[in-house]
Amino acid sequence: MGAGPAGLTAAYELSKHGVPVTVLEKDPSYVGGIARTAQHAGYRFDIGGHRFFSKNQEIEDLWTEILGDEMLTRGRLSRIYYQGRYFDYPLRATNALRNLGPLETVRCMASYAWAKVHPYKDPRSLRQWVTNQFGDRLFRMFFKTYTEKVWGTSTDEISADWAAQRIKGLDMWSLIKTTLLPRGRPKERGQVIKTLIEEFRYPRLGPGQMWERVQKVLADGGQPVRLGRAVERIEWSDGKVTAVLAGGEVFSGTDFVSTLPIRDLVEKLQPPAPEAVRRAAGSLNYRDFVTVALMIDRADVFPDNWIYIHEPGVQVGRLQNFKNWSPDMVPDPALTCIGLEYFCFEGDGLWESTDADLIALATRELAELGMVRPEEVLDGAVVRMPKAYPVYDDHYQRHLDVVREWQEANLPNLHLAGRNGLHKYNNQDHSMLTALIVARNIATGAGLDPWKVNADAEYHEEVRVGEADRSGRQVPARL
């Protein structure tokens, strides 16, 4: 169930073991899930740029096996945009000082000194906690806006506990020490990690190319992905799932792999799961995501792969320049496609806006940021991605345990895998690993535990304040 990276990896692995599979995907045209590559008039764009990197060699090898030479190695450039200036990301002292200028640097230091002399005693909110560590001016520049955009919550309402845990060990002194190190010097964490941060692999035609290729391999083997088949009902009796109803058709089988969001999965069980399980699954939360791709009549807009927008006056959280990921993402090198990323909740004002309004908003904001002139925008396209981020609030683990214990005890032939499938903030590599595990459990009775695949952040990049990381609590608790 689901033809994202996890569902397709499970099918790919099962077919290698000679196990016949049927993949059911609700989308009428795309495979790849969140890692699809959308297409519009010859342009290709991601739902949030997708880097391919993994500490797991088996996954790296699998990507090479699937796409071979079509996997490019790309250099990374990403910066923070704030008040008309670009700050290197990760931050570097020389660049930060040059950008701030002597006057603003003195102001930041004075604000820091003030915070040290007059700290919030017993800080309760994220704002108070970070201000104590860095002073109010730096808090506003590098912490406040982006955190609020990502989570949709004021930093006054986010608990200080979360900040203390998320940003532990980070204070002014360690920041200065880290940023004074030149970027290129090998650090303790090793050259390999540094390379992963500064370079990544990327399919020539975007992440969707990987999943379109797997779709083709399956089809060539006589097992085409069934598109436009939304799973509506999952029937079970006598301790096992017996069939799935999708797109008006009934599909039976011996084993069922679900990469559906757990909330949706439990809703579809027939007969219904016990009340406590339904309540637990219904209490899992998600953050949703809208990408607006604008096609620009200019060859060079900015050199970065992506830019974090810390500017408070605009709603956009991040910009992607897809031709900098791969030149083949645009139909003509004289043109550019910029993706504007908006974090939102399904059903809120942004989510419900018409495509035309979203394209107008994105055009306005890109012009306000000084990136393009409105008349350079040739065209636009919108993708709404529900449940882009599984939310780790204070209660999610308890709810997840309820669902998992019931499912394992009562429906052992239902196998959960993937990101929302396990409610884990997994990148593609870990989503795929969980799928490999369940496929091997089915094919060989390996008895491995997909829940043990770890989502750790260490090698990705320095943990960003305010952005979900891959370990620990991901969403700030409200006060």
Binding site for ligand FAD (CB under 6 A): 1-7, 24-27, 33-35, 48, 50-51, 230-231, 259-260, 264, 289, 388, 418-421, 426-429, 431
Contact predicate 171/143, CB 8 Å: no
Residues whose CB is less than 8 angstroms from the CB of residue 238 and which lie 6 or more positions away in sequence, other chains included = none
Smaller CB separation from ligand FAD, 1 or 377 = 1
For residue 300 the two structure tokens come to 């060079």
Smaller CB separation from ligand FAD, 120 or 459 = 459
Smaller CB separation from ligand FAD, 135 or 421 = 421
Instruction: Give the nearest distance from C-beta 121 to ligand FAD in angstroms.
Output: 38
Nearest to 472 by CA among 392, 389, 390: 392
Smaller CB separation from ligand FAD, 54 or 125 = 54
Instruction: Give the nearest distance from C-beta 244 to ligand FAD in angstroms.
Output: 9
* DSSP H/E element including 388: strand 377-390
How far is residue 162's CA from residue 124's CA, in Å, rounded to a whole number? Answer: 10
DSSP-based three-state secondary structure for 58: helix
- Residue 120's Cβ-count burial label (10 Å; 0-12, 13-18, 19+) is middle
Instruction: Give the nearest distance from C-beta 174 to ligand FAD in angstroms.
Output: 26
Q: What are phi and psi of 250, to 5 degrees?
A: -105, 130
Q: How far is CA 321 from CA 217, 253, 299, 372, in A?
A: 30, 43, 11, 13
Smaller CB separation from ligand FAD, 140 or 419 = 419
Smaller CB separation from ligand FAD, 135 or 203 = 203
Instruction: Give the nearest distance from C-beta 48 to ligand FAD in angstroms.
Output: 2
For residue 49 the two structure tokens come to 């740029």
Q: Which residue has the tokens 């910066």?
A: 79
For residue 437 the two structure tokens come to 């595990």
Smaller CB separation from ligand FAD, 128 or 428 = 428
SS3 content of the chain, % helix, strand, coil (to 5): 40, 20, 40
Instruction: Give the nearest distance from C-beta 183 to ligand FAD in angstroms.
Output: 20
Instruction: Give the nearest distance from C-beta 226 to ligand FAD in angstroms.
Output: 9
Q: What are phi and psi of 373, to 5 degrees?
A: -95, 145
Smaller CB separation from ligand FAD, 71 or 115 = 71
Residues whose CB is less than 8 angstroms from the CB of residue 239 and which lie 6 or more positions away in sequence, other chains included = 410, 411, 412
Contact predicate 231/246, CB 8 Å: yes
Instruction: Give the nearest distance from C-beta 407 to ligand FAD in angstroms.
Output: 17
DSSP-based three-state secondary structure for 260: coil
Smaller CB separation from ligand FAD, 119 or 386 = 386
DSSP-based three-state secondary structure for 153: coil
Q: Which residue has the tokens 């290129």?
A: 184
- Residue 178's Cβ-count burial label (10 Å; 0-12, 13-18, 19+) is middle
Smaller CB separation from ligand FAD, 26 or 384 = 26
Instruction: Give the nearest distance from C-beta 161 to ligand FAD in angstroms.
Output: 25
Q: 283: number of CA atoms within 13 Å, CB side?
A: 17
Instruction: Give the nearest distance from C-beta 401 to ligand FAD in angstroms.
Output: 20
Instruction: Give the nearest distance from C-beta 260 to ligand FAD in angstroms.
Output: 5
How far is residue 245's CA from residue 35's CA, in Å, rounded to a whole number? Answer: 25
Instruction: Give the nearest distance from C-beta 180 to ligand FAD in angstroms.
Output: 29
Smaller CB separation from ligand FAD, 108 or 241 = 241
Omega before 271 cis (within 30°)? yes
